[in-house]
A and B are shown apart, each in its own frame.
Chain A
Amino acid sequence: MKPPPFRYYDPRTLADAIGLLGRLENAKVLAGGQSLMPMLNMRYVLPDHVIDLNRVDGLSYIREAGGAIEIGAMTRQRELEFSELIRTKLPLMQEAILQIGHRQTRNRGTIGGSLCHLDPAAELVTLGAAFDASVVVTGPNGQREIPFAEFPVAYMTTAIEPNEILTAVRFTRWPAGHGYAFVEFSRRHGDFAITSAAVLLEADGGGKIKRASVTIGGAAVTPVRAREVEQALVGNVPTPELMRQACESCRAIEAIEDIHAPASYRQHLAAVLSRRALEKAVPRIGQPLAAKLH
């Protein structure tokens, strides 16, 4: 249970970090360390070089940029948790963040690290899919943006090139008064979700759903958008019966099986949790945001 020998680098600038990443073979980038460190301790990964981003300037921030909230890759989960901007502009994120691990891990864990690790059950990965986030990566030839739909390429594998570093994530805001909810099921508080559901809803003046985003996390190899549920909702008033029926389509998700649960259980959870998330999100439409959680 000790990390294998490696060489350690703690560059001060992004340019230096990218330079190192391009030059060194078998290098790993270290962000908050809440996934990479256990993997090093257990020797699941054996890098020759570790490039630590913790002393790189300018990668930790939360700011409004046009209609989006841009979050620097090294922004820690605790900063998202206590951010007034996140609470008021991305309330779904604040609801989800409290379910990420524990205070001790949120104090270190970063949004960029979580997205790069791409655990299918990770709350921030599920939110990336829910918001159609845009992932900003920087490499030797400059910046490019990856739409979240193209970001996961396989189980725990991203579209980031080996010489690129994730530097920011942009979440497009939903209009004030939108409905939102994040629910998950895990055996113990703070565990990875066996399955989760994230919902964003926008209604017209008549109570009909104008736009819907329904995402299931933890069930498949990457978070999946429940398009059938979204389509069933749009143009309709979300009655309990409609929500229940629509969410049944989540049982067709191509679910994974592991030590925690069989695929059929995850499919069941996907249907139940998406319905619960909708039932929580609908009454929030047009309502003022919940008071501070802290």
Chain B
Amino acid sequence: MSELKRTVTLTVNGKRYEKEVEVRVTLADFIRHYLGLTGTHLGCEHGVCGACTILLDGRSARSCLMLAVQADGHEILTVEGIAPNDTELHPLQEAFRDNHGLQCGFCTPGMLTTLLEFLRDNPNPTEQEVRIAISGNLCRCTGYQGIVNAALDAAKRLQAPGAPVLPPARA
């Protein structure tokens, strides 16, 4: 039962992966280095900046504060899995582009994953609720105003007919 390495099987953005990993590797490093999905960013690596936020079974979590082995058997969504295909953006991403919700883009993966969960659970948020929702994600470019505007705009876009269904939370 104990070892320094383990084989983990998990689903990331709908694709199943099976990899051997050192047990001390964080989920964030696993996603970036073992799977090559470098959209998940690492800012602080101790749970402050929110850039590494992913959805674990539909719920936001900081991937730097989990071990990859803990994700065995679970389903993960990273920023790469948000857009419906290679040529279109998700309405949340479009709202970010249209509202100057990003400048350098470092915090964006964490902002998007955080807001996917938030807008699923709270489809008609107030500005104050949006600000609290992103309080665990640091942005040093935008002053947050563009991000808040983007989130409020996205809430509207997501209620339009034909808008994509947000990823559900799994028990």
Contact = CB atoms under 8 A, between A and B. Distances in A.
Interface of A: 1-11, 33-34, 37-38, 40-42, 49-50, 52, 54, 78, 101-105, 107-108, 188-190, 294
B47 A38 contact: yes
B23 interface: yes
Interface of B is mostly: mixed
Contacts of B22: 5
B102 interface: no
B41 interface: no
A29 B44 CA distance: 23
A9 B45 contact: no
Interface of B: 1-4, 6, 22-26, 29, 45-47, 50, 53, 56, 59-62, 64-67, 69-70, 114, 117-118, 121-122, 131-133, 135-136
A103 B26 contact: no
A22 B163 CA distance: 54
Those 10 A-B pairs whose CB atoms lie nearest each other, nearest first: A102-B136, A38-B46, A8-B23, A37-B65, A1-B45, A3-B24, A189-B135, A7-B2, A104-B60, A107-B59
B153 to A, nearest CB: 20
22 contacts: A2-B29, A6-B23, A7-B2, A7-B23, A8-B2, A8-B3, A8-B6, A10-B1, A33-B65, A37-B64, A37-B67, A52-B70, A78-B59, A102-B50, A102-B135, A102-B136, A103-B117, A105-B65, A108-B62, A108-B65, A190-B136, A294-B121
Contact of A37 (B4, B47, B53): B47
Contacts of B1: 9-11
A104 B46 contact: no
Nearest to B136: A102
Given A37-B26, A105-B65, 13 more contacts: A6-B24, A7-B2, A7-B3, A8-B2, A10-B1, A10-B69, A11-B1, A34-B62, A40-B24, A103-B118, A107-B60, A108-B65, A189-B131
Nearest to B29: A2
B46 A190 contact: no
Most B C-beta atoms less than 10 A away, residue of A5, A7, A107 = A107
B133 A108 contact: no
